[in-house]
Amino acid sequence: MIETTNLSKSYGSKTVLKIDNLSIPKGQSFGLVGNNGAGKTTYFSLLLDLIKPSSGQIQSNNILVHESEDWKPFTSAFIDESFLIGYLTPEEYFYFIGELRGQNKADVDNLVSQFEDFFHGEILGQKKYLRDLSKGNQKKAGIVAALIGNPEVIILDEPFANLDPTTQIRLKGIIKNLAEKQGVTVLVSSHDLLHVTDVCERIVVLEKGEVVKDLETNDATLKELEVHFSGTETV
């Protein structure tokens, strides 16, 4: 589904990302972890053509991301609040995204109604602009908007940050359902090792822009990641 080949991103003499090969199959729940500056957001930004690669390429469903826009109809993402339109209410924003993705108001209403528990009564019907919502509620709106239009690829950057524990648990259920039951390819970056091991069947660790671990998630994965990031691994 997503093939990364000889990819690099540099700013001046500093290379912030260098991935020789990385393949993410369709329907996989894929986690990306690493410390600040490891290159997680850079990789997602390249995958969404928000920045251009210095070398190499990413193909999504055999489409070169930086050369064509044909990947956009089946791809959605929520990276941060800049993806929102602050002067719209959540409802207006959902309808706007729906129109972009060929969904009518009834389609959007049907989808959004499935996330009443996730919204916890704090998003719909509040007569508030998105810019006036808390960071956590902005994130809730952005994540649900990314689900509109039945995308095949969903990219979420730090989705658990700023969410209360109840919402984090509900979000984990949403992500698992997307990958396991709907066959959606879900890419998640997170600093929270527990959450990412809970929802992702595969986890890649980035360090200084390079892949240093590529793990199939099992009962030992969380411990392995904790040992890695604590710096106590033996060579």
What is the pLDDT at residue 178? 93
Beta bridge partners of 29: 186
Label residue 233 by pLDDT band (50, 70, 90). low
Residue 235 pLDDT > 90: no
What digits encode the pLDDT tens for the residues 58-73?
Answer: 999 999 999 999 999 9
Residue 77 pLDDT > 90: yes
The phi, psi pair for 153, rounded to 5°, reads -130, 130
What is the pLDDT at residue 7? 97
Q: What percent helix, strand, coil does the chain show, rounded to 5?
A: 35, 25, 35
Q: What is the homologous superfamily of the domain 2-230 according to CATH? A: P-loop containing nucleotide triphosphate hydrolases (3.40.50.300)
Label residue 76 by pLDDT band (50, 70, 90). very high
Full strand arrangement of the beta sheet holding 29-33: 75-78, 153-157, 185-189, 29-33, 202-207, 210-216
What is the pLDDT at residue 174? 94
d(CA 168, CA 162): 9
d(CA 204, CA 41): 13
Helix (H) or strand (E) holding 44: helix 40-47
Residue 48 pLDDT > 90: yes
Label residue 234 by pLDDT band (50, 70, 90). low
The per-residue b/e assignment along 78-96, b for 16 or more CB within 10 angstroms, e otherwise, is: bbebebbeeebbbbebbbe
14-36: average pLDDT: 96
What digits encode the pLDDT tens for the residues 81-129?
Answer: 999 999 999 999 999 999 999 999 999 999 999 998 999 889 998 889 9
3-state SS track over 137-163: HHHHHHHHHCCCCCCCEEEEECCCCCC
Q: What is the DSSP letter of 191?
A: S
What digits encode the pLDDT tens for the residues 134-192?
Answer: 999 999 999 999 999 999 999 999 999 989 999 999 999 999 999 988 999 999 999 99
190-200: average pLDDT: 94
d(CA 42, CA 54): 12
Label residue 231 by pLDDT band (50, 70, 90). confident
Q: Are 203 and 215 in contact (CB under 8 A)?
A: yes
What digits encode the pLDDT tens for the residues 213-224?
Answer: 999 999 999 999
